[in-house]
Amino acid sequence: MNSKAAAFARILLGLVFFVFGLNGFLHFYQAPMSPSAVAFFGGLAASGYLVPVLFGTQVAAGLALLAGRFVPLALAVLAPILVNIIGFHVFLAPPSALGVPILVLGLELFLVWCYREAFRPMLRARVEMAHEPDQPVRRASVPAAAR
């Protein structure tokens, strides 16, 4: 049951980010925005690079979720974007527009819980390095018979 719920959540979250990411490029849906929201997006657009990076990241991570590939990486990449989406809707959008971001946050948190083993190494206070940074990495030698 849990794997079916995780697959459903992964596909739904992937669709949301893929579609809304594409919307950032193709502009097929434009919700009405408050003057402060327009000013915020105007500032992002004025940078010249942040809007394409933001929406391109959403498209790429959405595709990864839809394909079921690199799911923990996609979730980690989407986390700061999702924090900003929630902040945008809390502070700059009407309260009635908070439904989809709350749903997306729930899907993200559920999937992070489902993939928690992949995040465990990231959440350790100390991690041992595989080798010393100033030492070359030793490669396994290949026996002559295998060459």
Per-run averaged pLDDT (10 residues), the chain, 147 residues: 91 98 93 90 94 97 98 98 94 86 97 95 83 62 55
Query: How many CA atoms are closer than 13 Å to the CA of 84, on its beta-carbon side?
Result: 11
pLDDT given for residue 137 in this prediction: 58
The reported pTM is: 0.83
pLDDT given for residue 142 in this prediction: 53
pLDDT given for residue 12 in this prediction: 98
Three-state SS at 4: helix
Place of tokens 């915020």: 40
pLDDT given for residue 97 in this prediction: 83
